[in-house]
Amino acid sequence: MSGFRSAARAALCVSAVLALPACTTVAVQENTLPMSSMNHCAAPVGVSVRYGTLTIALGDRPSTGYGVQIVGQQEDSGEYEFIYRETKPQAGLVYAQMITQPCAQVILPKDWQQVTVRHEINGSEIMLTPLDDTGLYPDSAAQ
């Protein structure tokens, strides 16, 4: 799969910017997967899959002004691709000064075969398969 770089790929679904203070399910468009965003995530820092839920976790941040936004997604025969960005506090707004662990989660369908997640700015990319699901295959966390 050549990823988002291929001109032959369908256009990305673009989600709206949401500033969410708590865990909220986001139904952006009819053809997107169920997603949520939260300020306190128990998942390890990075990209992981557990029990069919993809998590993008940033780790500790100093205020509630930080978050994770999925800005694009597409699917091709059970292979999913997501682009995400870290949102940062907007100048001039007041945010609670507290340690947060922002993350975004996407519930993958039961028949998913592969998921590729790419950071919008630096282009870093990770690919996961069902064998990387730490809930179904606990030994995959050690790899």
Domain residue ranges of the chain, discontinuous segments joined by +: 9-136
CA distances from 95 to 65, 68, 103 (A): 6, 16, 17
Beta carbons within 10 angstroms of residue 64's beta carbon: 20
Token output for 116 = 């590729």
pTM of the model: 0.74
44-84 pLDDT, tens per residue? 999 999 999 999 999 999 999 999 999 999 999 999 999 99
Mean pLDDT of the chain: 80
